[in-house]
Amino acid sequence: MTSKVDRSYFLRVKFIYLLYYLRLRFYNSHILYWVFLMSSSSTIREVAKKAITERAVGIHSHISGLGLDEKWKPLPVGDGLVGQLEAREAAGLIVRLVREGKRPGHGLLLVGPPGTGKTAIAIGMARELGKDVPFVSISGSEIYGSYTKKTELLKQAMRRAIGLRITEEREVYEGEVTSIEIEKAEHPFNPYTQVAYGALLTLKTGKEEKTIEVGDRIAAQLMRMGVRVGDVIEIDAETGHVVKLGRSSEAPSKWKGEFKVAKIIPRPDGPVKKTKKTSHVVTLHDIDMANLRIGRSLLFREEEISDEVRQKVDEEVQKAVGRGEAKLIPGVLFIDEAHMLDVEAFSFLNRALEQEFAPVLVLATNRAMARVKGTDVIAPHGIPIDMLDRLLIAKTNYPTRDEIRRIVEIRASTEGIELSPEALNLLADIGEKLSLRHAVRLIAPAKAVADIENSSVVKPEHIERAKSVFIDVRESVQYMQEVLKKDPLFLEFLK
């Protein structure tokens, strides 16, 4: 592989100092993109074919939208989402309003029990707005315990959720993935985990098939996006930016049309390497940081971004938009555990979301009545009334057994794990009795058991073995209660 961590670091340092020396401005799109991407290798080299290997898959990488029909009504199964029809329809109406340039209040509040798909719906909203629309997910508790002020962290999150789309003619590699192998190495700071440092993949079009070797940054994108055989992707030959366009209509599938996992598109025609009009998105926070680093040679140290820097960025962005060189696009800012935000954070969000351009805010909570942090007020969902009045609220429900079965089936297929019909039914029973999350978490250990026993298919006995050693939270609580009953002194101490 041509990509090495130490070489990438020195390249980045050298390039940033060169920019500072030449005093180049951040609004040049080519320069801007190199500042962002020089931290690691985006080398692409054409090589001979090679076999595929295993890969890691993100938990929500299979979601490609909200699964809506032409009348904006949710399908029972679509775009990787199952059930939750009311919440998905509500999210779809929010997306439609945003597309029409209207602001639906301050955003959407999703309320429901844990494990009912609130995060998945928020991701689906971003995918429905566009494949390259920014999606930022944070937890309400993340803003505490940092050297940076709470309001600064929220401001950075909001600007990460606003993108600037730049359209231009670029050289790209485009095609259907017919094989993919991601090479991994030991993490430099954690020997028990692995990181991608390169990949070998074969792309096919209607005209030709080509195998290319890519560097660590592209490989990390492929792993994070869950790219697999049959996906149609586009790789920028200069910057290494990867776009997952959809699922090839010619890819083999045990599901008719495979509408459950991804949007179906035709296999690209023409050569694999081509010049086409394409667009890439950078966020306002990326531009803020690039401008800050060029001016102060700041590489890794955290520092608050001044209002002066942001004002200059906004001025240049407005000029670029006015010249027709770029377009601002609102993304989705998802804040889970919204009840963990305090009154200062809610006050900031109230003001910030009234600005001319703001991201789509999606809050999620599983609380009914809770104290607003920083006050003695008990409010619905732990959110101040003046903030609640500006939100639209939708609910999520526990999935039915049939929905659990379909979710497990989609998840296993996304990870490339084959389940026997009996094993699938057993996992559906576990999900209905205990929780969907527990059923999904048992898939990987059951696959490991199947591999140990030289079985390519996960069977009920493999799941039973995994279930016997990995217990659900209800079982763990019951176990500890029984143990503590045997030691009254220790139980009194815990009280």
CATH code for the domain defined by 401-475 = 1.10.8.60
Region at 337 (left for phi over 0; alpha for psi -120 to 50; beta for the rest): left
3 state DSSP class of 264:
strand
Closest CA to 139 of 345, 284, 306: 345
164: tokens are 């600037």
- 312 has which bridge partners? none
pLDDT for the residue numbered 110:
92
| Helices 421-433 & 401-414 angle (0-180, nearest 10) | 120
Q: Measured at the alpha carbon of residue 174, what is the angle toward residues 168 and 179, in degrees to the nearest 5?
A: 155
pLDDT for the residue numbered 447:
92
pLDDT by residue, tens only, the chain of 495 residues = 334 334 444 444 444 444 443 333 444 444 444 444 444 445 565 554 433 333 444 566 677 788 888 888 988 888 778 888 899 999 999 888 888 877 766 788 999 988 888 888 998 888 888 878 888 888 888 888 767 788 888 888 888 998 888 877 888 888 898 888 888 777 777 777 777 778 888 898 888 888 888 888 888 888 877 788 888 888 888 878 888 888 887 777 655 444 445 577 888 888 888 888 777 788 888 888 877 765 554 444 455 777 788 888 888 888 888 888 788 888 899 999 988 988 998 988 888 888 877 888 999 999 999 999 888 989 999 899 988 888 899 999 989 999 999 888 888 887 778 899 999 999 999 998 888 889 989 999 999 999 999 998 999 999 999 999 998 888 888 888 888 877 777 767 666
pLDDT for the residue numbered 429:
92
Question: How far is the C-alpha of 432 from the C-alpha of 270, rounded, in Å?
Answer: 49
Helix (H) or strand (E) holding 10: helix 5-22
Question: Domain boundaries in the chain?
Answer: 401-475
7: tokens are 């070489």
327: tokens are 């377009």
One-letter identity of residue 267: R
248: tokens are 């090839």
Please report, for residues 176, 177, 231, 276, the alpha-carbon distance to residue 44 in angstroms, rounded to integers and kept in the order given.
17, 15, 19, 18
294: tokens are 């060029």
Residue 162, judged by CB atoms within 10 A of its CB (0-12, 13-18, 19+), counts as buried
